[in-house]
Structure 1
Amino acid sequence: MCKFSANSLLSAAALTLLSAVAADPELSTLTAVMAGMGTSPDKPDPRLEERFNSRLDGRNYTFFAPTNAAFAKIPASQLQALALSPNYELLLSIIRSHIAEGYFPASSISDTTPPIAAIEGFPLSFKGPRINSQATITATDFKADNGIFHKVDTVLNPYTSYFGLSPPVGKAPSPNINDQSANLGDLLMSDNGLDLYRNVTSIIAPYRLLRHSYPPKQNQPLPLFLVSSDTAFSVLPPSSYSSFIAPSNNALSAYLLNAGRVENVTSRGIPASTSLLPQIKAANGTLALPGENGLSILFRETGEKGEIMVGNARVERELCWADGCVWVIDRILDPLYGILGV
């Protein structure tokens, strides 16, 4: 049996779950984040409100609610970026990864409790007061009419274990192909190590490859694209591929595939590595650049033979063409890597 904070006997059973959360001053940032996703200033997004805050739903839910202190661990610029409309699907997945169907008071949670599936599908595992080795439960058993909530001190990142964290192996990216006669579409369609990437994009976002190919203006800075190799898909948990391409997940999956675009990285005829490595070294080995949706992507040099890490992934290869460069990475990019204070 778990034993957490003694200050855990507050009951808001007359309120539905999200209303009970909104009534707690230690959860005001969470409430504001959810309200910002909605269509009115005082109610969460309908996809949250109609399921988790309605007695008509008929089910109980348990919310592991991040406190104001948890959100304070996120840099202000990144929290503001998360709230932008292009990041809606990601933010929704974060919130849903903190909620599980069922009624789980503290007395039902222990080291031997099997992982509980969050609404988003990711597992919640417990060891003492810790969840997924990321957050600590600080107060428990705040009851609502349709469930219960506990407070946690860190916003959970569901993608850390799901996509995996690639270990450094001391190997630099394989030689650059600086083909000035080819465009990105040609390279992505013909590369032998990107079969699964092509399959996924053809199902969930057939326009994706086309987005990469556009004629730049003369002397226009060129982008860098981070594209997941077949290795990245092969290390996902079982059945993940089918979940990734499921119609209900299309919007989020398309978002995740598009998270690795960084504008204004290099110039025509110059590999992205040539442009970025001096910047990474000048930043003491870690350089944060904004991705397409405003969230930071961390570029790191391990110091081992020119090896480059990007977020949770290792750069396997570099492909350059007339309109920019692709770095082939060995994991699907975790868009929250290094952001949540985990």
Structure 2
Amino acid sequence: MKKKHSLIIVIFYFIKKFFSDLIKKTKGIKHNFIRKKERVVHIANYLFTKDGFSFYLNKFKYRFKFLKYRIRYLIKSFLKHSKKIIDSGYLAFTIIFYIVLSIIIFLLTYNIWVQSYDTVKIPEFRNMRVLEAIEQIQSLNLIPVIESRFSHLPYGTIIFQYPHSGHVIKQQRKVKLVVSKGLESSFLEDFSGWTVFALQKKVQELSLILKREIKIEKIGEEYSDIFDKGLIISQQPQAGADLTTIDTIKIVVSKGTMPDFITIPDFSGKTVEQVQKEIETLGLILDIQYVQTDNLDKVGIVINQNPLANEKIAKGSTITIFVGQKKL
């Protein structure tokens, strides 16, 4: 019981001592703060007196003068020692060494950076056609961004690119292309003699440059002695129309030269072999259809034909004959 009582007294003593020390420290901090505050107030009051201002001004001048002499001493010491270093050639060697070392570190770092990413080198796109440039950019796994402006260069020609050719960039980065819209007042070209495919490529370029869709509408086909089959004969609007007002280009396509027309003879009552020989000489294509009949005299003989006799058809057309076949 006595041991337990003495233990409680010891614990209580240490707790009391801890709090008494804490109170003393708090009072000491407060006292120091008050002393510093009084000192600041005293200096401020003294500074605005005539004697106080001159005292602190002289003190500042003295310290500034000391600093000036100290800097002068350091510069003289440096020049004195550096002259010896320069005369010995050590300084020049040190500078060259660090320059070479910096270049080596830069090249190594650059190579590591290039090899650590999927990078591509930008080719030259200026003066290329816009569709060719876009295909090449996409093949390099880059993203083309198209802008357009008026220029003396032809429609669809690249006049500026960023990044510039020779730069190395990561894949999936954007490549900006500025495309020529031609002169400020641009006109529609004459597409006569163009293929439909070539016109489609041209219209794609125009749509990219004008930033709106231009459609192609085929309104017919005609025979032509001038243009081969598949080439454009005429267009609407006509060449010279203002491009800014065009939404659709309508075209007429050539079917080639007009073929020679042949008057079809009457093949009724002839055998298949006889008809085949005549068809070959006429330059036609033969189609044979068999029709069942009870009349044995008409078996293997032409009963009917399409087109009929004396009609005119173009050379190379197909003619169908109906041949009798014994009824089963």
Answer 1 or 2: which has greater helix percent: 2
TM class by shorter chain equals under 0.3
TM-score, normalised on structure 1?
0.22
Q: Larger Cα Rg: Structure 1 or Structure 2? A: 2
Structure possessing the higher relative contact order (Cα contacts under 8 Å, 6 or more residues apart)? 1
TM-score, normalised on structure 2?
0.22
